[in-house]
Amino acid sequence: MTFRDIIFAFALLGLAACGKDSPEEGPKESAVEAVASSEGLPSYDSQGVVANLDGQILTLDHDGASAAGLKPGRDRFKVYADVLADAPITPGARVTFAFKKTSQGLELAELRARP
């Protein structure tokens, strides 16, 4: 082995030692998904009776909305705290409501007591 071969071997070992310390990690998936805004979507009106509230899901027995293609029956609507703040949410409460059809399902935009 010549002096040149020894220098080449040391240089090669030196370069190999300069690699990455840890395996490359890609972007981690988040448990939280971004939800698209429903602000630009059309709103539809209907009336019904509160059946159940379970977390952010309000179940309503309703009269439907032909403009939205929603037949009368029982459906689950995603609802946020700002809509529920002054709304009647006890089972059996008669309500009028506005909703939007989103890619995730039905979402309440307004909920009011019905006389």
Q: What is the pLDDT of residue 29?
A: 65
Q: What is the pLDDT of residue 25?
A: 64
- pLDDT (tens place) for every residue of the chain, 115 residues total: 688 888 888 787 777 777 666 566 666 666 666 556 677 899 999 999 999 999 999 999 999 999 999 999 999 999 999 999 989 999 999 999 999 999 899 999 999 999 8
Q: What is the pLDDT of residue 98?
A: 95
Domain residue ranges of the chain, discontinuous segments joined by +: 44-113
Strand 94-102 and strand 73-78: the pairing is unpaired
**Whole-angstrom distance, CA of residue 95 vs CA of residue 46:** 9
What is the CATH superfamily name and number for domain 44-113?
Copper binding periplasmic protein CusF (2.40.50.320)
Kindly report the pTM of this predicted structure. Answer: 0.65
Q: What is the pLDDT of residue 38?
A: 72
